[in-house]
Structure 1
Amino acid sequence: MMATYQWEDLASRKYVPWEAMGVEKIPPDEEEDMKAVIAQINEMQQRQYNKARHCFGGTHARTQGIVKGKFIIPGDLPRHLKQSELFREAGEYPVACRYSSEPGDPGLDDRIPQPRGFAMKIFDVKGEMFDAGRDYPTQDLEFNNTPATELADAKTTREILGLRLMYGGDKPELYNQLKERPDRELQLSRDKVANKHLESMRWYSQSAYRFGDYVMKYSLVPSTETQRKLAGQTVKPEDSDDVLHRWLRSFHADHDAEFLFEVQLLENLEEQPVEYAGTVWDEKRYPWQPVAELVIPKQDSWVYGRKSFWEDHMRVDPWHGLVTLQPLGSSNRLRRVLYPASSALRRKMNARPEMNVRSIDEIPG
């Protein structure tokens, strides 16, 4: 459960309004960059299709597990955190969550260190939705186990995907190209991510979102002692190539999982940029504040019907959700056009219709 928290200092801070000048600055060539990225992602999907004869998403192609739980909003949040319809009042919502590996290769060996992903679809949410998800009462949220993304804006994404397409089969040369970039440390960091038990990881939004009147990044923090102890369980060369999914399934079969859902609010645009998602917001200067809990009861995290249904028919899209939780910044504007385009190619090539589920009960298992 959420512990007693000292809110006084945090409640009195001057948080930047989400509509303030400078929060979003759309560069003149962004639309051209977005069109190029769509073509690049579709090419990556086509390449994977040529190997597997099945089309996957351009990223997060490898499912590690899918679980169901509940997202709990307490009734005693301070006023500055009662933002959006979701957090304004106490409530409990059904939620479906998917663990994944971030690259677009569904056969990626778990022993290779790479970023990992976590996605949530919260059901029965009430409030004004964006047009893309207006008929579906869900709030979709995406996470990564790194606090910043190397695909930090549309321009950078176009440049990096171009290098990966050109040198994807020649990793030494790809590294040589990345080392010549001014953001080389960020670009090379993805191969140095700690490869450990997924249930011990902290998960980050990476990019910024509206939070009612304000702007936030969000995070999930494992909150049980059992989960925290797993942090030392790292993948070794002698482990199987699907070790992460096996560890995850073993954990969920025997244990409940709990996470704190925390937000980090925007106070200083120079130190907390919204347009560039490659910068970590300093958590000492701008603390994380808990606003909800995610609780996942014991269950089988590897149900074949659930996995195939999610991969073949569903997608998580942050533009499926509340207007008061609007995705912000270049990387999120890119997602608004990229995700539907990537999904459309998958549905066409796999002959599987997209299904925007209205109830968690529509998901098998």
Structure 2
Amino acid sequence: MISSPLRYSPDLELPRPDEVETDESLEKSFDHILETTARDYGRAVRAVHAKAHGLFEGMFTIHDNLPPELAQGLFATPGVHPASLRISTNPGDILDDNVVLPRGLGLKVERVAGERLPEAEGDGQDFLMVNAPVFAVSTPDKFAGKLKLLAATTDRAEGAKVALSTTLGAINAALGAIGLESSALAGLGGARQVHPLGETFFSTVPFRYGDYVAKFRLRPLSPSLTILTNAIIDTSGRPDGLRETIRQDAANLTGEWAFEVQLARDPEKQPIEDASVEWKEEDAPFVQVATLRIEPQDSWSADKVERIDETLHFSPWNALVAHRPLGGINRARRRAYKHSSEFRVRVNGCPFTGAAQGAE
């Protein structure tokens, strides 16, 4: 039997006494990644999720007649919003696609009304997701430790990374810093390079959902996307093979994703502070509250690269008060992501302006 949704209360969060030191460690690791990659590339890139594979503009439709527990915050008012979508891989290096890595997805729902968090800029509500249901580490201090390992792999043995040999173990050991460790990467051959447009993406960490608490999921819905689930992309000899394939497919693709909400029911089974625990669907089911739709488009056009990849930032803290990020991992991201975005502004000499602004 499914219990009633857990009511939001500030008391659900239990900050650790060492989080100031954790924040300082994260900033130090971010600085190493940012400074190394800026030197290598001649410009600043994101400290995590540096390489994008597809950039999309779409429409985010909030469903009407949602039950009261789902009609919360952004989702309390039915309607259609423009949205920007960025599909990426997790490290701060811009690597050859023959290194098979976990994926990330940044979704910015734009022209959003409502009370915003103090640090939120523009008018967007951001959702950051990865292609796994849980974060690989449980607490902020472990997050900082994993990011320190990831920083140590930056700019090291590029040829070996492309060959999927000795460096893959070090990369994989650090991927928990962005939410996922892949056991397949421990092998010499890496994981299968499946099509990103066919994958399901998860927030992995909890958020306030108005009066309640939730995680989020973006699931392929239309046949044009589900047919790509587990489809293999051959990147042999193609360092940007994912980007090329997505661009070719996007030119003729009309696709829809289900945006789903998973309301917490039991703080023991759906903990707020341990991001490594999966909220099981049998205890807390996902329910669709909106649909994201894209029409055929150029997913790597010059204007999208300029607006979405170069100028746009994504942060869980670029949000409405009703969708405040919760838990230690989200608290750790708050300062670190802002630090990263400020570095990009300073080095690239380009302020981030426009309707869609954020932190990373």
TM over 0.5: yes
Deviations along 1:303-327, one digit per CA (max 9) or x if unpaired, are 1232133333221122122100111
Deviations along 1:47-103, one digit per CA (max 9) or x if unpaired, are 11221111111101001121111111111211221111x111211111111111111
- Looking at structure 2, the residues matched to 342 and 328 of structure 1 have their Cα atoms a distance apart, in angstroms, of 20
Task: Determine which of 65, 72, 86 is the counterpart of 2:61.
Answer: 72
Partner of 1:358: 355
Change in CA separation of 1:101 and 1:298 when aligned onto 2, cut-off 3 Å: same
Residues 164 and 174 in structure 1, CA contact (< 8 A), matched pair in contact too:
no
- Looking at structure 1, the residues matched to 314 and 324 of structure 2 have their Cα atoms a distance apart, in angstroms, of 15
- Looking at structure 2, the residues matched to 350 and 29 of structure 1 have their Cα atoms a distance apart, in angstroms, of 33
Which runs of no fewer than 5 residues in structure 1 stay unpaired? 1-8, 180-185, 361-365
Deviations along 1:118-163, one digit per CA (max 9) or x if unpaired, are 11111111110111225x2211111111112225432012111222
Change in CA separation of 1:118 and 1:237 when aligned onto 2, cut-off 3 Å: closer
- Looking at structure 2, the residues matched to 20 and 190 of structure 1 have their Cα atoms a distance apart, in angstroms, of 39
The residue type paired with residue 42 of structure 2 is R
1:321-332 equivalence runs, <5 A: 321-332=319-330
Task: Determine which of 153, 158, 165 is the counterpart of 2:151.
Answer: 165
Partner of 1:93: 81
Deviates more, 1:246-255 or 1:277-286: 277-286
Partner of 1:4: none
- Looking at structure 2, the residues matched to 55 and 37 of structure 1 have their Cα atoms a distance apart, in angstroms, of 18
Deviation at 1:172, TM superposition (A): 5.0
The answer to whether structure 1 residue 104 and structure 2 residue 92 are counterparts is: yes
Partner of 2:162: none
Deviates more, 1:97-106 or 1:310-319: 310-319
> Number of aligned pairs?
340
**Alignment TM-score, normalising by the size of structure 2:** 0.87
Change in CA separation of 1:152 and 1:347 when aligned onto 2, cut-off 3 Å: farther
Task: Determine which of 247, 250, 263 is the counterpart of 2:248.
Answer: 250
Residues 312 and 352 in structure 1, CA contact (< 8 A), matched pair in contact too:
no
- Looking at structure 1, the residues matched to 331 and 351 of structure 2 have their Cα atoms a distance apart, in angstroms, of 25
Residues 312 and 356 in structure 2, CA contact (< 8 A), matched pair in contact too:
no
The residue type paired with residue 97 of structure 1 is L
Deviations along 1:254-310, one digit per CA (max 9) or x if unpaired, are 011100000111112222222122222112322111111001111111112321333
Identity of aligned residues (%): 29
**Alignment TM-score, normalising by the size of structure 1:** 0.86
Residues 119 and 142 in structure 1, CA contact (< 8 A), matched pair in contact too:
yes
Deviation at 1:116, TM superposition (A): 0.8
Change in CA separation of 1:177 and 1:109 when aligned onto 2, cut-off 3 Å: closer
The residue type paired with residue 68 of structure 1 is E
Partner of 2:215: 217
Task: Determine which of 117, 123, 144 is the counterpart of 1:137.
Answer: 123
Partner of 1:294: 292
1:1-365 equivalence runs, <5 A: 13-19=3-9, 21=11, 23-84=12-73, 86-106=74-94, 108-133=95-120, 136-166=122-152, 169=156, 175=169, 187-189=181-183, 191=185, 194-236=192-234, 238=236, 240-355=238-353, 357-358=354-355
The CA RMSD measured in Å over matched residues stands at: 2.5
- Looking at structure 2, the residues matched to 312 and 226 of structure 1 have their Cα atoms a distance apart, in angstroms, of 28
The residue type paired with residue 16 of structure 1 is L
- Looking at structure 1, the residues matched to 356 and 317 of structure 2 have their Cα atoms a distance apart, in angstroms, of 18
SS in 1 for 2:347: helix
Change in CA separation of 1:165 and 1:255 when aligned onto 2, cut-off 3 Å: closer
- Looking at structure 2, the residues matched to 231 and 178 of structure 1 have their Cα atoms a distance apart, in angstroms, of 23
Change in CA separation of 1:331 and 1:306 when aligned onto 2, cut-off 3 Å: same
SS in 2 for 1:344: helix
Residues 233 and 245 in structure 2, CA contact (< 8 A), matched pair in contact too:
no
Deviation at 1:177, TM superposition (A): 11
Change in CA separation of 1:79 and 1:202 when aligned onto 2, cut-off 3 Å: same
Change in CA separation of 1:126 and 1:119 when aligned onto 2, cut-off 3 Å: same
The residue type paired with residue 120 of structure 2 is G
Residues 265 and 283 in structure 2, CA contact (< 8 A), matched pair in contact too:
no
Deviates more, 1:307-316 or 1:196-205: 307-316
